[in-house]
């Protein structure tokens, strides 16, 4: 969360220098974070949080509608928003890599479990809406070496999963994700019926995301994530 606000705030100020934004993330940013899907939306959220008249309740109730209205209000498009965010991150890496990396804190036990996965002979890859270069920097900083990393440049997560599922030779795919709509999209994508989907109980979840999960999506708690794969739901 610290890095998300740090980068989103700076990108917002690049695009709209006249806005006033606090150094520390306002509470509204944490409330919006579970709804945010792509990086450019974070920058737009920062701009919106500079508005004294922002109706946060309306945003939380009708996020997609409010997102489109915000693009029109600021006369911006996703591309320049995303570009500003990546420019900020590239500059941070070039000027003070250690400081930028220090803004990130992995969830307790996750990095260690990924190291054990490799030791157990289970290959793992990363699918992320973050830029691939930034994801690789973060993984390397924590001593993690996945078999592959797919950033937003390689397509959506269902698109990447489809390519993996259609690869030769075919291998079982287990998809671990903290965004319920993404998992639901995977479940509804033709060709991905055999992918096992897990919603982790940590991360940026909405208050009702863990309730009434549809068939084919299993909830994954930290203790089960840490356990042998054979015991996963």
The CATH code of the domain that includes 192 is 3.40.50.1000
CA 211 to chain centre: 21
Domain extent for 199: 110-231
Residue 126 in this model has a pLDDT that exceeds 80:
yes
Structural domain ending residue among the three candidates 102, 131, 159: 102
Specify the number of domains making up the chain: 2
Question: What tens digit of pLDDT does each residue of 159-215 get?
Answer: 999 999 988 677 889 999 999 999 999 999 999 999 999 999 998 888 789 999 999
Question: What tens digit of pLDDT does each residue of 58-86 get?
Answer: 999 999 999 999 999 999 999 999 999 99
**215 in the same domain as 126:** yes
Residue 124 near residue 146 (C-beta atoms within 8 A): yes
CA 47 to chain centre: 19
Quote the CA–CA distance of 100 and 93 in Å, as a whole number.
7
Q: What is the mean pLDDT of residues 14-22?
A: 97
Structural domain ending residue among the three candidates 55, 84, 102: 102
Residue 167 confidence (pLDDT): 82
Write down the pTM of the prediction.
0.85
Residue 186 near residue 220 (C-beta atoms within 8 A): no
Q: Identify the DSSP state of 20.
A: -
């Amino acid at each position: 969360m610290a890095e998300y606000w740090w980068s989103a705030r700076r990108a917002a100020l690049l695009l709209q220098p006249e806005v006033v934004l606090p150094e520390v993330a306002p509470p509204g940013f944490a409330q919006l974070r579970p709804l945010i899907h792509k990086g450019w939306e974070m920058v737009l959220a920062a701009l919106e949080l500079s508005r004294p008249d922002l109706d946060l309740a309306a945003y939380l109730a009708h996020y997609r509608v409010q997102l489109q209205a915000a693009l029109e209000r600021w006369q911006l498009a996703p591309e320049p928003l995303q570009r500003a965010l990546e420019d900020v991150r590239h500059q941070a890496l070039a000027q003070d890599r250690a400081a930028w990396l220090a803004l990130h804190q992995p969830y307790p036990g996750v990095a260690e479990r990924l190291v054990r996965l490799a030791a157990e002979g289970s290959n793992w890859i990363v699918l992320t809406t973050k830029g691939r270069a930034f994801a690789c920097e973060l993984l390397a900083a924590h001593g993690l070496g996945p078999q592959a990393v797919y950033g937003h440049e390689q397509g959506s997560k269902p698109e990447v999963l489809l390519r993996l599922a259609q690869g030769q030779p075919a291998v079982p795919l287990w998809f671990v994700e903290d965004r319920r709509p993404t998992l639901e999209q995977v479940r509804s994508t033709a060709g991905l019926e055999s992918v096992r989907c897990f919603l982790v109980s940590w991360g940026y979840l909405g208050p009702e995301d863990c309730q009434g999960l549809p068939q084919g999506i299993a909830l994954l708690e930290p203790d089960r994530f840490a356990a042998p794969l054979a015991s996963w739901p």
